[in-house]
Structure 1
Amino acid sequence: MQYLYIAQLVFMIIGPLIRLVFRVIGLGFVTYFGFNALITVAQDYMISNMGQAGTAIQQILGLAKIDIAINIMLAAVTTRFIIAGINKATDKKRSQVWNPPGRDYIDA
Structure 2
Amino acid sequence: MQYLFVAHLLVMILGPLIKMVLRIIGFGFVSYIGFNQIIGAGQDYMVSKMGESGPIIQNILGLAKFDVCVNIFFAAIATRFLLAGIDKATDRKRNQVWRKPGGTSIDA
Alignment TM class, shorter chain as reference: 0.7 to 0.9
1:23 aligns with 2:14: no
Task: State the partner residue of 1:91.
Answer: 91
Number of residue equivalences: 99
Task: State the partner residue of 1:57.
Answer: 57
How far the C-alpha of 1:7 sits from its partner, in A, is 2.5
SS in 2 for 1:60: helix
Structure 2: runs of 5 or more not aligned: 97-102
Task: State the partner residue of 2:32.
Answer: 32
Q: Which runs of 4+ in 1 moved over 4 A?
A: none
Question: C-alpha separation between the residues in 2 aligned to 1:92 and 1:6?
Answer: 40
Structure 1: runs of 5 or more not aligned: 98-105
Task: State the partner residue of 2:6.
Answer: 6
Amino acid at match of 1:74: F
The normalised TM-score by structure 2 is: 0.81
Task: State the partner residue of 1:43.
Answer: 43
Q: Deviations over 1:46-94 (max 9, x none)?
A: 0110111111111111111111000000011111111111121122328
SS in 2 for 1:92: coil
Question: C-alpha separation between the residues in 1 aligned to 2:15 and 2:75?
Answer: 39
Q: Kindly, what percent of the aligned residue pairs are identical?
A: 58
Question: C-alpha separation between the residues in 2 aligned to 1:66 and 1:12?
Answer: 57
Question: C-alpha separation between the residues in 2 aligned to 1:9 and 1:18?
Answer: 14
Question: C-alpha separation between the residues in 2 aligned to 1:40 and 1:32?
Answer: 12
1:79 aligns with 2:73: no
Amino acid at match of 2:22: F
